[in-house]
A and B are shown apart, each in its own frame.
Chain A
């Protein structure tokens, strides 16, 4: 076997892994986000007829007739369902309107002159027909646009959605802000904690590490209960502070951003502490004494020796925490307040709640791309350590 082939075989698992866990999902997500055509598949005659309608006037009778013919055809139920889902996402109401119309059309028999508006006045609304027209192309940017609170108006120009419905950008931004805040908090707590853990030995070190790892091993249920006991208005912290006379009215520590930050920092802390700890214990034992012997006061030794040497750990930890935090939603949902939802909960809503994979894919794309970039960055950082020993 040639050396080159051998080398290829060696990296094959990596390539398969990358393909399986990055490229394929990325591709899938793009594909589901932009794939249209479900409506064309389910309503082929309508597709032809609607192409010649300019969308300005009322839908011509021939278009209506084409739709009725399509509805009469025995379309596979699942294909019909996909089309309904796409349409309802464009125009709320299709969900009930189409099945009802289909049922009525089939019961009415073969007469072409079926009066749609008489069956349901919604058929007289322009919006439904425009939505039909917009949904015909095989590829659509509707989901991608909607993911950033944009849409195409009736003239097919891109414009922002009504302020009442503009929510994704805000939630996306909030997601990044919360992830950033959690990363900062984890760093601020994790670094001293890791330093402490690395400076002691024996059971003390084990106890510290177990303490920080504990949330990884407890179920969400137990953790949530623990936060509640600690953080609620009548919780341990508030009671203690009140008993000490430090506060009079309880601090709001849960069901708001504070709660989210506390809970997420708690869960994600190990992801910060472990890499820092690893880089700290890798520091040769005599470097800190050497720094002191050479005249570095403790703060200087920290600033010029310990911190730079712990930096790879701190960076990996930060990236890790940030990336994982981006995907959180159950914890913020359980401990947060009104304005603390993160983007993953919206994605989950579309994916599992309404089976709108297109929207889920589009939103996921906006989450996956920065995550992937960060992951590659992380890979770089962890492969080329600052310190070569």
Chain B
């Protein structure tokens, strides 16, 4: 497990602006070479957390260790981190080569060595031919890659990126996501990547920290977050989900039987910490919900088909289950039952998770 090598360690770190607690006593590790995303809605404290790591904000409490060393007291220019800002922050009065060489110049690297390293760093993002241009003469994607190359040129221990792709259009963004991942792999970088785009976080990261109101809701691998959300916030924030309110009737080891508020009961293999009688929500992803003709299937819920929506690669079925509304995802080849018909929606006990209401 990577946690054994806690390269970056946040220890009870918090930040208070006036009376507002923006980062609330966070504890987590990032391992060496890991790609970690900070994901959360706007204002959840992602940038603040990153800025505390980079040294632009002083924590109100707690500690930050990098490679076993406390860093809270260090000014930004002594932290040896590569930072990529949201709108690149290239120096307009310098050429591309000068921009990329800037961190080296600040470290007193000799000219010859500097030039060699700049070339290499520009090769890394395949923009060596632009070395003599000015930032204003580059496209957004090119500027972004230059910013990246500038953050990497002095081989920092950690690279921090604050929504580096948010200003790019979708296609370019996806392309850059792949490039950044490739660089991460090639150079063995430790990356902390801020985004509020869940798709980006899931596709790029080794692990994702979901932040909400200054707290970490869940820090997990992408599949862990998707398949085993631990909180209602995560279940709803990551992807799409059906939530069924109910109460735990019985626990059988890891599994539990939940009596639903809309009637009936279901069984879930992953019951988490919830004891008998606790109020819970059952989270089921739409693609795990199947329409079956008979009630014999596991966790079969009687539903009425209200609508189908054609989505190209799939069809979404809108179902009424008592007072609740459910969404199921059907393959385009599946025969969709006619609107108004009744059927049963079923899911496997292994395909649901219990979260707090």
- A contacts B directly in the complex (CB < 8 Å)? yes
Q: Collect the chain A residues with CB atoms within 8 Å of residue B55's CB.
A: 292-293
Q: Collect the chain B residues with CB atoms within 8 Å of residue A298's CB.
A: 77
CB–CB A296/B89 < 8 A? no
CB–CB B136/A294 < 8 A? no
Q: Collect the chain B residues with CB atoms within 8 Å of residue A294's CB.
A: 77, 82-83, 102-103, 106, 150-151
A304 at the interface (CB under 8 A from B): yes
Chain B: CB-nearest residue to A283: B92
CB–CB B92/A293 < 8 A? no
CB–CB B77/A293 < 8 A? yes
Chain A: CB-nearest residue to B104: A295
CB–CB A304/B76 < 8 A? no
Q: Collect the chain B residues with CB atoms within 8 Å of residue A388's CB.
A: 92, 134, 136
Q: Interface code B21-61, partner A: CB below 8 Å = 1, 0 otherwise? A: 00000000000000000000000000000000011100000
Q: Which parts of B72-120 form the interface with A (CB within 8 Å)?
A: 75-77, 79-83, 85-87, 89, 91-93, 102-103, 105-107
CB–CB B83/A293 < 8 A? yes
- Partner of A289 from B56, B82, B102, B151 at Cβ < 8 Å: B56
- Using A293-B83, A295-B103, A389-B136 as known contacts, say yes or no to A284 and B89 having CB atoms under 8 A apart: yes
- Using A295-B103, A300-B106, A304-B102 as known contacts, say yes or no to A289 and B76 having CB atoms under 8 A apart: yes
Chain B: CB-nearest residue to A288: B89
Q: Interface code A286-313, partner B: CB below 8 Å = 1, 0 otherwise? A: 1101111111111011001100110000
Q: Please, how many angstroms separate the alpha-carbon atoms of A293 and B75 in the complex? A: 9
Q: Which of A290, A292, A293, A298 has the most CB of B within 10 A?
A: A293
CB–CB A286/B89 < 8 A? yes
Q: Collect the chain B residues with CB atoms within 8 Å of residue A305's CB.
A: 91
Total number of A-B contacts with CB less than 8 angstroms?
A: 74
B344 at the interface (CB under 8 A from A): no
A138 at the interface (CB under 8 A from B): no
Q: Which of B79, B106, B134, B151 has the most CB of A within 10 A?
A: B106
CB–CB B154/A295 < 8 A? yes
Q: Please, how many angstroms separate the alpha-carbon atoms of A305 and B93 in the complex? A: 8
A386 at the interface (CB under 8 A from B): yes
Q: Interface code B159-192, partner A: CB below 8 Å = 1, 0 otherwise? A: 0000000000000000000000000000000000
Q: Collect the chain A residues with CB atoms within 8 Å of residue B102's CB.
A: 291, 294, 296, 304
CB–CB B89/A304 < 8 A? no
Number of interface residues of A (CB under 8 A): 23
CB–CB B107/A295 < 8 A? yes
CB–CB A289/B150 < 8 A? no
Q: Which parts of B176-227 form the interface with A (CB within 8 Å)?
A: none
Q: Which parts of B139-166 form the interface with A (CB within 8 Å)?
A: 150-151, 154
**Interface size band for B:** 20 to 34
Q: Please, how many angstroms separate the alpha-carbon atoms of A388 and B135 in the complex? A: 9
A330 at the interface (CB under 8 A from B): no
B85 to chain A, nearest CB (A): 5
A119 at the interface (CB under 8 A from B): no
A282 to chain B, nearest CB (A): 10
Q: Please, how many angstroms separate the alpha-carbon atoms of A301 and B81 in the complex? A: 16
Q: Please, how many angstroms separate the alpha-carbon atoms of A387 and B95 in the complex? A: 11
Chain B: CB-nearest residue to A294: B103
Q: Collect the chain B residues with CB atoms within 8 Å of residue A296's CB.
A: 77, 102, 106
B177 to chain A, nearest CB (A): 22
- Using A286-B89, A287-B89 as known contacts, say yes or no to A295 and B136 having CB atoms under 8 A apart: no
A118 to chain B, nearest CB (A): 80
Chain B: CB-nearest residue to A287: B89
Q: Collect the chain A residues with CB atoms within 8 Å of residue B136's CB.
A: 388-389
Q: Please, how many angstroms separate the alpha-carbon atoms of A304 and B92 in the complex? A: 12
Q: Please, how many angstroms separate the alpha-carbon atoms of A41 and B107 in the complex? A: 78
Q: Collect the chain B residues with CB atoms within 8 Å of residue A309's CB.
A: 92-93
CB–CB A293/B106 < 8 A? no
Q: Please, how many angstroms separate the alpha-carbon atoms of A386 and B95 in the complex? A: 12
- Partner of A292 from B75, B80, B151 at Cβ < 8 Å: B75
Q: Please, could you name 21 A-B residue pairs with CB atoms under 8 Å apart, sorted by A?
A: A284-B87, A284-B92, A286-B87, A290-B85, A290-B89, A291-B91, A292-B55, A292-B76, A292-B77, A293-B82, A293-B83, A294-B82, A295-B80, A295-B107, A295-B154, A297-B77, A297-B106, A298-B77, A301-B77, A304-B105, A388-B136
10 A-B pairs closest in CB distance? A290-B89, A293-B83, A292-B76, A295-B106, A294-B103, A286-B89, A388-B136, A387-B92, A296-B106, A308-B93
Contacts A289-B85, A290-B83 known; 17 new A-B pairs at CB < 8 A: A286-B85, A289-B83, A289-B89, A292-B76, A293-B81, A293-B85, A294-B82, A294-B102, A294-B103, A295-B77, A296-B102, A297-B106, A301-B77, A304-B106, A388-B92, A389-B92, A389-B136
List chain A positions with a Cβ less than 8 A from chain B: 284, 286-287, 289-298, 300-301, 304-305, 308-309, 386-389
